[in-house]
Every structure is written in C-alpha cells, then in structure tokens.
Structure 1
C-alpha cells in the first residue's frame, strides 16, 4: 500500500509541476505577443525617424550578434554544412532581407493598425504555401479559415481605407513582407531537421542584415551621418526592438514550439495582431475604427482554422478521452 501511495503521489506531484510550468510558458507567450505587437509601432517610429533600410539593417545585425552571444554562452554555436548553408542563404533572403525591406517601406506609407492586421494573416499564408509547395492539402476547416482570413484582410485594407480609392501601396508592401516570410517558413521547416532552429535564426539574421546594409549603402548613402543626430530616446527604442522583439522574442517563440507544439504556439499569434492594434492607438495616436475591429473578428478565426490549430487541439482532446477507455480494455484482458 505504501509503495502504491508513493507512486500515486509522485505522479500527481509531477503533473502539478508540469501544469505550473505550462502556465508559466503561456504567460511568457502572452507577454511575447504583446512585445511583438507593440514592436510594429516601434518599427514605424524608427523607419519614420531614420533612413528606413539602414536602421533596419543595423537593428537586424544587432539582433543577430546578440543571438550568437547567447548561443555561445550555452555552447550551441557550430559551423553549418554545405546544405545548411544553402538554407541559410535562401532563408536569410526571404525571412530577413525581403521581409524587413518591404516591412520598412510599407510602414512608411500605411498605418500601424493596417500593418499589424495584414501581418496577422501570416499563419494562413503559410498554410496555403505549404499546400502548394510541399503538397500538404488543406482540410475543410482550413479552407474555411483561408476564406475568413482573406475577407478580414480585404475588409481592413479596402473598406477600412474608404474603398479602392484609399488603397495604399504601403498595404501591398506589408503583404509582400508577410508573404516572403511565410515562404521562408517552408525553407526553415526543412532546414531545422539538421540544424538547431535558434542557430539557424542567428545565421539568417546576420546574413540578411548584411544584405540589407549593402542595399542601404547604395540607396541611402548619407544615412550614417543622419544617425548621429538622433536623440537618445530613439536609440533606447531601437535597442528594445532589436534585443527584446527580434533576438530574444524569436528564440523564445522557437523554445515554446519545442515545448507545447507548433499548433498550440500558433494560437498565440492572434494576440500579436490584437496588441498591434492596441499599440498603434497608444503610441502612434492612430484611430481604431469599427472596420478594423470587424476585420480582426474575421482574421482571428481565420488564423485559428487556417493554421490547423483548432483541428490539432480537437484531435489531442479526442486522444486524451480515448486513453482511459483503452487502458480499461487492456486491464480487463
């Protein structure tokens, strides 16, 4: 009896600690999504105050070097092989260079609210590209999610801006930004089979940042002289964006995927869109209209359905319900 009691106590105590750890991780993810959402406003302020490409390149490089510093401390840095290096090049071009190039230009010509909402369609675009490129066909639930996502983004960009006459090229740039990032996720999923995703992120940040810096030197030759005149408050915002949002944020999100799974982690990306709206109202003084909220109502279920998060959770719940039945049948035999 004593042995059985000790065993039951051990299992109960283990489950209790795991639950507390999971609760702490959920709290961390919520805070991370708030940082990422508010970072949309931070980037808009930075690209409006500095030469956009140059400041974006410096921010990415600072984030990349910070990632390598953290990985070096825990002994996770190594040289990639030839195949991994190819993924770093292509991933860096799409995930870093193209994504941040279009994001910087887009936020100069559109509102932070629109930018945040269009970025919120990323998981749906990733699911669509997965179906096209790696032949992962969407389910009925995902197709419904795609439709909801398209309606939500269209509602914000077209109706929310006063019809087609109010359509902004900045909105197109933001869409190209998230499209290039969504495509890079396909490459990253293949590369992560042989290389630590955190190390892959560091290499891509440095490589993509160097390419952006070269583009900045060509398109903004006097940029570095303008940087010296910036007030200290902008540099504090710059460091917060580079270290908290880009470096630590990306590594933290990858850690969450390894602990709770990609589907469960994807659910939190909906909070990113919500906090981007809140941030644009708090920090940029932008007006959040009823059209933005209606678009958000469509985007949230679109992401949940289109990313497959709901289906994954339903399957997990059905599996957990079947466990006691299976164990009972085995015991009876």
Structure 2
C-alpha cells in the first residue's frame, strides 16, 4: 500500500471522526445518552469481532490479555464514551470537537510520566500552547473561569480517560494484535456501559422507541464507520507509518467538527474558537513529539533539566 494512499485514508478517517461528534450531538438530543452509547459501542464491537472471525484472526485470550482488555475498556470505552455522551448534552459540538483534539497532547504527557518518553523543549512549549488553546475554547469570549461549562469539563475528562487507555493499550499491544484488543474492548465496555445506563437512566430503553429511520441511519453510520472501521483502519496506519506520523492527522478532527457544527447544527464559530483551534494544532504538533521524531537536530530537542 502506497504512502500517499495511507495519508488519504487517514484524512478520510479524521473527517469521519470529526463529523462523528456532530452525529453524537444529534443522537444524544433524542435518546438517553448513556443507553444510546452502550448500544452504539456494542454494535461496533460486534462488527469488529465478525471481521476478525471471518478473516481468521479471532483467537483465545490469555488471562493477562483479559486483564489488559478489561482495564483498557474501563477507560477507553466506559469512562471515555460516558463522559463524552453526557458532556455533549451540556456543551456545543464545536467546543467538544476542539477539546477532543487534546487527546494526543494529553497522551504525550502521560507517556512521559508512565512510559519514560523524553520531555523536550518542543513538548513543554506544545503542552502550554495546547492547554492555552483549550482555555480560549471553553471560555469562548467570557470573562472568567466560572463561565466554563460542566459539559466542557466532562469532555476533558473524556479526553483524559482515552489518553490513559492509550498508555494501557501501548503496553498490551506489545504481545497482542490491536484489532483483537479493539474488538473485545468494545464488547466488554459496552456491556458495562449498559449496566451503568440501567442505573443512571431508568427510562433509557424506552427512549430508543423515539427513533426515526433518519436517527437510526446516523446511529449505524457512527457505530460502523466511525467506531468500528475507523479505529481498525487507524490502527493499521499506525502499524504501517508509525504512531507519531499517524497522530499528526488527529489535528484535522477539530477542523471537521467546527465545519460540521456550522453547516449541520447551525452553531456559530467565534474568534476565540478559531484562535483556540490554531493554538491547539500548534500545541499538538509540538507536544506530541512529532518534530522530535522527524529528524530535527538534537540540540533543538534538548531534554529539559539535562
């Protein structure tokens, strides 16, 4: 597979993931968010497992792998999607898309702490710029920190949960195929989410009766294309061109989220959001370590404190 084709596929995946925020915003306005999310993730998990089964990649798991999958599912599926679904009921899709762009940056910080990655000048500046960009987004032209919405806070918790899961997944996939782990994570996490939804949303199942053909088409597109196929193709790109080079494409997510929110939801795009977007993109490029891994002279990547 040519490098240009991989790049093109990554751009398409980022467009799907960016627009998926818009799809989720629509869905949580019509269904109970946690109940809906559990069924969406379950559908995605079934799709991945079926693909693995028909391609002969499904196998028995070891006890250690089950522990890894269960732990990762708690963060990547349960916590991440729970906070995302609830957060989208309390903030705009454009804000959510921009805050979600922090995933590679937060992952980079955690990788320094837990995986021993270098903490370089580029990363330090990137972290500062990235979080400054988020402040532009969440304050959205307001005058104080008390204006930050609880929805924005939930979205950030969603980002933190996913970043933690990436650290766990990085350790687990040293001995386990990422597609196998993804499929079982989605299935296990969706079941946990369903039981949580029974407690949080007693009338959640009845809300599904309000669905129209239009809404269920959005549901299937989100589950199959964004969650199932999107993650499988992204993991394949990581294997072929590396994590650092693949992660840089995540910067396109907020762009597609902003455009989608503007065209499909009628949300306005403020100057503070545009400035936040620019700072987040620059911050992720620097903070994710992309420049450190791209042949930049080592004297410009001096490790802080050394």
Q: Please indicate the TM-score interval, normalised by the length of the shorter structure.
A: over 0.9
**Paired position in structure 1 for 2:164:** 183
Q: How does 1:90-129 map to 2 (within 5 A)?
A: 90-129=71-110
SS at match of 1:310: coil
Cα distance in 2, alignment partners of residues 113 and 222 from structure 1: 29
Q: How does 1:189-268 map to 2 (within 5 A)?
A: 189-268=170-249
SS at match of 1:97: helix
Q: Which runs of 4+ in 1 moved over 3 A?
A: 159-163
SS at match of 1:241: helix
Structure (1 or 2) with the greater helix fraction: 1
How far is the alpha carbon of 1:160 from its aligned partner?
3.5
Cα distance in 1, alignment partners of residues 169 and 7 from structure 2: 24
How far is the alpha carbon of 1:231 from its aligned partner?
0.9
Aligned equivalent of 1:52, options 9, 33, 49: 33
How far is the alpha carbon of 1:220 from its aligned partner?
1.6
Cα distance in 2, alignment partners of residues 197 and 176 from structure 1: 24
Cα separation, partners in 2 of 1:292 and 1:158, compared to 1, 3 Å: same
**Paired position in structure 1 for 2:127:** 146
How far is the alpha carbon of 1:73 from its aligned partner?
1.3
Cα distance in 2, alignment partners of residues 28 and 269 from structure 1: 12
> Between Structure 1 and Structure 2, whose CA radius of gyration is higher?
1
The question of 1:294 aligning with 2:275 is answered: yes
SS at match of 1:60: helix
Cα separation, partners in 2 of 1:28 and 1:223, compared to 1, 3 Å: same
Cα distance in 2, alignment partners of residues 224 and 34 from structure 1: 31
**Paired position in structure 2 for 1:326:** none
Cα separation, partners in 2 of 1:208 and 1:267, compared to 1, 3 Å: same
Q: How many residues align?
A: 297
The question of 1:306 aligning with 2:298 is answered: no
CA contact 1:127–1:138 (8 Å) conserved in 2: no
Q: How does 1:145-164 map to 2 (within 5 A)?
A: 145-161=126-142, 163-164=144-145
Cα separation, partners in 2 of 1:282 and 1:88, compared to 1, 3 Å: same
TM-score by length of 1: 0.87
SS at match of 2:295: helix
How far is the alpha carbon of 1:306 from its aligned partner?
0.6
Q: Comparing 101-110 with 162-171, which one deviates more in the overlay? A: 162-171
Cα distance in 2, alignment partners of residues 229 and 157 from structure 1: 32
CA contact 2:30–2:210 (8 Å) conserved in 1: no
Structure 1's unaligned 5+ residue stretches are 1-17, 317-333
1:164-189 deviations in Å (ceiling 9; x for gaps)? 34210001000000101101100000
Cα distance in 1, alignment partners of residues 140 and 23 from structure 2: 26
How far is the alpha carbon of 1:131 from its aligned partner?
1.4
How far is the alpha carbon of 1:163 from its aligned partner?
3.4
The question of 1:32 aligning with 2:4 is answered: no
Cα separation, partners in 2 of 1:64 and 1:161, compared to 1, 3 Å: farther
**Paired position in structure 2 for 1:285:** 266
Cα distance in 2, alignment partners of residues 161 and 60 from structure 1: 36
How far is the alpha carbon of 1:162 from its aligned partner?
5.0
TM-score by length of 2: 0.94
